Structure 1
């Protein structure tokens, strides 16, 4: 049996921490609108932080499935972008310390990785592990984004309702961490932000903003959100311009709004996870938004 502690290296100068929150997100699993990636990326950009532990990516990643970028200059190799799964120590807007774990989702040794994180969480006295990501839903962007909360103990999300019953879905390392560490007695919870299905492939800052607001409600951590809120407002404004210029889009969004409002009022029998036949599909709406998003990116680059 392999020793889970062999899978990571912890710095020697880690300060004493009291029940810190550990936020984590891994690139590679479903993350509609880039909700989790943008949320933690925003924190890394806004807050001072330092790496206190790294994981052995040679054991965890399959380089042939996602090859690292290397630089060739004239007649020799001059660099390589080595992927990293790293745990960082940061402080929120009030000075409270917390931990951030980011990187690509491991391709193998999931159970050992979860066990290693459990060992690390115990070693650092972590009080709560929290993750967030986006899932595509048949909802309009003109309404508040819903959130499905889940946790290792029901008490952690008391008062929440869910749009789901009992379902079976492809697993992820993030979900396995919550499950296994919950079995081991750790408190772990997550937030799945409901992202409009026609924006699932785009970067949607509103989803990241919603995710961080949920983390604040669930942990008490306070984050600087002004920049992210400004990005969300700009994106919403640009989407509104695109919709106003298209009668077909305007009609489709109005239909989603009616469906959403009926569901919220308890009058609809449809589950928002599934798309009714009379509504445009996610692909149909997304196809029209792709051109708009591409044009927006070109304008930004110019």
Structure 2
């Protein structure tokens, strides 16, 4: 069986952007996978393909699951990467969404299959979402760092460039594969407070959704996620206040954040419309040899 298994082949996707997130090392607080899942739910995305897990996963590390259907029938569910299409008529482009656990093996082959998929669908931009643990307070706006395949595009999109050096996840390998194929790509990373790493972080998921919106020119009604983010911040604040040691630690993080270089006010970042226009201009400026 070929690794890429099609349920059906979508036709007529308009200038699609491929947005990816992988559970595991790249997904602190489940923020990245939650962001992509929210985008899919908001636009009634439907699955059209998956990557067969047999060659790519250690099933002792990422185990299949048994579930009961109708209370009696036992059904086996294997870990896999699932791929969805989302038609967005009021936006300049449609979305292809990819989510699943980070693979264990054969990362280069795995990413080559994703690039092949993107090329087959006419994808114009690949965006990966990630979340990392950081010394940041939960009470401050979520910092989004990132990079793009072109430094000029990074600047135009208002991304705070990442200076990270060290081990990488599947997202780093995917960006390298996109670069080899001449496929424009961008990476967004949300900073998640390490002292609440075990809890799902809708605040970070919301920050990623907002940046993806601007990057690909697609909007969503995020009211539900905004409420979840507000509830999250309130609950974490209450938990912090109940422990004097933790509260003192968080206050130190807040002071450190204030003492750093002038923080970026979200109002000073490019609007979604501006970001979308800049990305379109970037694509137009690329000659045939650059694409």
Query: Under a length normalisation based on structure 2, what TM-score does the superposition of the two structures give?
Result: 0.81
2:27 aligns to what?
Answer: 31
Paired with 2:239 and 2:85, the residues of 1 have a C-alpha distance of: 41
Report Cα offsets for 1:109-140 as digits up to 9, x if no partner. 21111111111111100010111111111111
Paired with 1:220 and 1:173, the residues of 2 have a C-alpha distance of: 25
2:163 aligns to what?
Answer: 164
| Contiguous gaps of at least 5 residues in structure 2 | 264-291
Q: Does 1:176 align with 2:152?
A: no
Aligned residues: 258
Contact 1:94 1:222 in 2 (8 A): no
Residues 246-261 of structure 1: matches in 2 within 5 Å? Answer: 246-261=243-258
1:49 to 45, 51, 62: 45
Larger gyration radius, structure 1 or structure 2: 1
Paired with 1:64 and 1:248, the residues of 2 have a C-alpha distance of: 38
User: What root-mean-square deviation, in Å, do the aligned CA atoms of Structure 1 and Structure 2 show?
Assistant: 2.4
Contact 1:51 1:87 in 2 (8 A): yes
Distance 1:184-1:65 versus aligned 2 partners, 3 A rule:
same
Contact 1:32 1:135 in 2 (8 A): yes
Contact 1:23 1:100 in 2 (8 A): yes
Distance 1:14-1:229 versus aligned 2 partners, 3 A rule:
same
Paired with 1:239 and 1:11, the residues of 2 have a C-alpha distance of: 42
Report Cα offsets for 1:86-123 as digits up to 9, x if no partner. 21101348365211011122222211111111111111
Q: Does 1:202 align with 2:194?
A: no
Query: Under a length normalisation based on structure 1, what TM-score does the superposition of the two structures give?
Result: 0.78
2:239 to 242, 245, 259: 242
Contact 2:147 2:188 in 1 (8 A): yes
Paired with 1:71 and 1:214, the residues of 2 have a C-alpha distance of: 36
Q: Does 1:63 align with 2:62?
A: no
Contact 1:105 1:173 in 2 (8 A): yes
Paired with 1:79 and 1:152, the residues of 2 have a C-alpha distance of: 42
Per-residue deviation, 1:48: 1.0
- What is the DSSP-based 3-state SS (H/G/I as helix, E as strand, rest coil) of the residue aligned with 1:58? coil
Contact 2:138 2:236 in 1 (8 A): no
Contact 1:92 1:223 in 2 (8 A): no
Per-residue deviation, 1:77: 7.7
Deviating above 4 A after TM superposition, structure 1's stretches of 4 or more consecutive aligned residues are: none
After the TM superposition, which of the residue ranges 92-101 and 55-64 deviates more from structure 2?
92-101
Paired with 1:71 and 1:10, the residues of 2 have a C-alpha distance of: 24
Per-residue deviation, 1:22: 0.5
Paired with 1:224 and 1:92, the residues of 2 have a C-alpha distance of: 13
Residues 29-178 of structure 1: matches in 2 within 5 Å? Answer: 29-70=25-66, 78-92=74-88, 94=90, 96-158=93-155, 159-162=158-161, 164=163, 167-169=165-167, 171-178=168-175
Report Cα offsets for 1:58-83 as digits up to 9, x if no partner. 1222223222123589xx98221222
| Contiguous gaps of at least 5 residues in structure 1 | 267-302
Paired with 2:159 and 2:65, the residues of 1 have a C-alpha distance of: 43
Per-residue deviation, 1:233: 0.5
Distance 1:142-1:78 versus aligned 2 partners, 3 A rule:
closer
